[in-house]
Amino acid sequence: MELKDKICVITGGTSGIGRATVIRFVEEGARVVFCGTNPGKAKKVMGEIKALSGRGAASFFPCDVSNDSQVREMTSFTKKKYGPCEVLFNNAGIHVSGALHETSAADWDRIMNIDLRGVYLVCYHFLPHMLEAKYGTIINMASVSGVLADTSMAAYNAAKGAIVNLTRSMALDYAPMNIRVNAVCPGAIRTDILENTFARVPGSEKKFISAYPTHSIADPIEVANVCVFLASRKADFINGAMIMIDGGITAHTGQPFMGKY
């Protein structure tokens, strides 16, 4: 098992990529604390984990990652329950669509508070564990939308772009202390956020599928598997990297197909 007895924290762990990663980490022998704001969804995840007897273990802690005191409480809970955090996956996030003039100040603050401030707060409170141990791995949830831009996604693009450069900055600052910091940058993944887009925008699923070189949309497990690798000792020399999990969409310039001429 790649993560046997590693103490891991996963934010936004009750659905989508977070849920898949919680399960994969437990399968690999990790002891996981995962958080979220929906106890009902958390109960379902815990039910799935019970079926993995003989592997790792997991505990749910209700936490809004944009709330400083709640994150501090989760830090204390983790240390008391399992010990100091060794692997941190900052996965929690929301999506807000709209061009800048269509994005209210409330929506802007909401996405920045959860997607960006949440990463800051969780890292701020858990990094002392890693600094004391002189070892740790942090994985930040970025996006292809943090590396390149989309139409009508100003706030989301800004938040994910900030995470990309924050990841690089942290990778430089903490490498001397044997703490690695990387980001995963998924493209279209079948999560609640994307399924909601498909439900609200007629024909959008077909458009997404046709836009990707693989002509497919990934499942959350495909991102979770990359996180298992990044959290393992097999990835010890990977630091400050943006791992694209996007079916090749960012490999394309976007210029039209011209054929041979």
The predicted model scores a pTM of 0.96
Q: Which residues are catalytic?
A: 156
55 has pLDDT over 80: yes
How far is it, in rounded angstroms, from Cα 74 to Cα 61? 7
Domain assignment of residue 80, yes or no: yes
Question: 212 with 187: CB under 8 angstroms?
Answer: yes
How far is it, in rounded angstroms, from Cα 136 to Cα 8? 10
Domain assignment of residue 250, yes or no: no
Six-digit token pair at 148? 């390149």
List, in sequence order, every beta strand (DSSP E) within 71-224.
Answer: 87-90, 136-141, 179-186
pLDDT at 256: 85
Domain assignment of residue 258, yes or no: no
Q: Tell me which DSSP letter residue 246 carries.
A: S
**How many domains does the chain fold into?**
1
pLDDT tens-digit map of 147-172: 999 999 999 999 999 999 999 999 99
Question: 2 with 235: CB under 8 angstroms?
Answer: no
Question: 114 with 93: CB under 8 angstroms?
Answer: yes
Confidence of residue 261 (pLDDT cuts 50, 70, 90): confident
* Amino acid identity, position 166: L
Full residue range of the structural domain in which residue 119 is found: 7-243
Question: 197 with 204: CB under 8 angstroms?
Answer: yes
Confidence of residue 221 (pLDDT cuts 50, 70, 90): very high
List, in sequence order, every beta strand (DSSP E) within 7-153.
Answer: 7-10, 31-36, 57-62, 87-90, 136-141
Domain assignment of residue 261, yes or no: no
The distance of Cα 221 from the centroid of its chain, to the nearest Å, equals: 12
Mean pLDDT of 206-214: 95
The per-residue pLDDT of the chain, averaged, comes to 96
What is the CATH classification number for the domain harbouring 130? 3.40.50.720
pLDDT tens-digit map of 86-107: 999 999 999 999 999 999 999 9
Domain assignment of residue 155, yes or no: yes
Domain assignment of residue 218, yes or no: yes
pLDDT tens-digit map of 23-53: 999 999 999 999 999 999 999 999 999 988 7
Domain assignment of residue 260, yes or no: no
